[in-house]
Amino acid sequence: MNLPKWFFPGLGVKRWFLVIIFAFILISIGITPLFGFDISVYVTNQLLLMLNNIFGHQAGFVLKLTALFMILSGISLTYYSLLKIKSEFNTHITPNGEILDLLYEKRRSNKGPEIVAFGGGTGLSNLLRGLKKNSDNLTAVVTVADDGGSSGRLRDEMGILPPGDIRNCLVALADREPLMEKLFQHRFESEGGLEGHSFGNLYIAAMTEVLGDFEEAVRASSKVLAIRGKVLPATNEDIKLGAVYHDQEERMGESAIPVYDKEINKVFLYPENASTTPEVKESIQKADVIVIGPGSLYTSILPNLLVKGITEEIKNSSALKLYICNVMTQPGETDGYTAADHARAIIDHCGSGVFDYIVVNNRQGTAKLRKKYEAEGAYPVKIDHQQLEKLGVKVIEADLLKKDSYLRHDPDALAELIYDLNKKYN
């Protein structure tokens, strides 16, 4: 047991130690008028008389030794009691962690800034894994334009919003993430009706049928997973994503948009007047920090910003607004894009004022990893400072690359940067 942890700032424990001490003082003082004598003086005198009978003139010295022994015994008993209390908590309430560590972490995260993050896919869930370590006040606003894979099948067969990206965010924010991720991300491989479906998607679909509302199903799933923060669909309306290419060809459906060697001119929603929910608006209004990205530019980020009401609320917000630019280009979607191209696409679709700063990674990873990505048509996003300056965009550069077998953002480094920027600018 680490006793000093009981005295961590903000833990809310020290005040109760003081209350206990004050209570003992009150009891001791109260005994005197009630019984007509000071019990502490009476006990001391009786003990000294007994010791005089045994030790004679050395009784005073023995009394001091006895008093010291009693004090040490009291401290030892207090320590032992706290140890047993902690053991009981850890055994029955928090079997997977130290109660003091969890309590301190919870108190600290409850005081974290209000952060609203927009995106979808693996980019947003990766960011949330880092952010949740220092704040519970997180809101993930997720696109619901997905029409491929398990999500697309459930959307077509059951008429519900696609649960895939929402599932990923719920898992990322779950307190017991390793177990939940294994369960919720489990994909059925056996042939039959369940083939290709993930358990998490089916769970959210079942909750939607039970509760009769997709948003309520997500809220209930959040409670079951005990997530830190909340996950909200960008809209409750059934929307589809479309794209217009530079050759004026038009395609409908999120999964059909990425096409090799075809440059996207713009994306749009159908119906175009699909609006966001009051809960999303409220989260933006309360936000200290608004984070856009990382994620697929045209199929994850812009589908959120194009929902009626979201961009307007972001522009009216006084929060710190950050756009997290992707580390790598995305084949068939952002081929050859620089950081300025990413920023320009958002400005062209939504106007200026959606973000104050663009956060870019300034490391490229190893040549071996880059070669692996180049074989798939993905390249590091270049930082073209002059073009960004022309756009009026402020740039924040940092080494945000995760040191593993993938070229992607390190969630902890990215979260640390966001929290530092919040302290600096808010």
Per-residue pLDDT tens digits for 16-39: 565 566 556 555 555 555 555 566
pLDDT at 190: 73
| 119 and 241 housed in the same domain | yes
| C-alpha closest to that of 129 among 252, 9, 17, 294 | 294
- Portion of the chain with pLDDT greater than 70, in percent: 77
| 79 and 138 housed in the same domain | no
Does residue 221 contact residue 203 with C-beta atoms inside 8 Å? yes
233 - beta bridge partners?
Answer: 142
Task: Classify residue 214: in a domain, yes or no.
Answer: no
| 134 and 44 housed in the same domain | no
Average pLDDT value for residue range 244-249? 95
Measure the CA angle with vertex 299, ends 296 and 303; round to 5°: 115
Which run of H or E residues covers position 53?
A: helix 39-55
Task: Classify residue 370: in a domain, yes or no.
Answer: yes
Quote the domain boundaries for residue 272. Answer: 112-143+234-425
| 126 and 94 housed in the same domain | no
pLDDT digits (tens, 9 = 90+) for 287-317: 999 999 999 999 999 999 999 999 999 999 9
The residue with greater pLDDT, 181 or 301, is 301
Domains in the chain, number = 2
**What CATH number is associated with residue 296?**
3.40.50.10680
Task: Classify residue 148: in a domain, yes or no.
Answer: no
Does residue 125 contact residue 169 with C-beta atoms inside 8 Å? yes
pLDDT digits (tens, 9 = 90+) for 88-112: 556 655 555 555 555 555 555 567 8
The span from the CA of 284 to the CA of 276, in Å, is 11
| 116 and 83 housed in the same domain | no
| 134 and 38 housed in the same domain | no
Name the token pair of 393. 């965009």
| 98 and 121 housed in the same domain | no
| C-alpha closest to that of 344 among 387, 307, 315, 313 | 387
| C-alpha closest to that of 125 among 200, 24, 38 | 200
Quick check: 82 pLDDT over 60? yes
Give pTM, 2 decimals. Answer: 0.77
Task: Classify residue 168: in a domain, yes or no.
Answer: no
Identify the three-state secondary structure at position 249. Answer: coil
pLDDT at 226: 83
Where a domain ends, among 104, 121, 152? 104
The span from the CA of 133 to the CA of 124, in Å, is 15
pLDDT at 400: 95
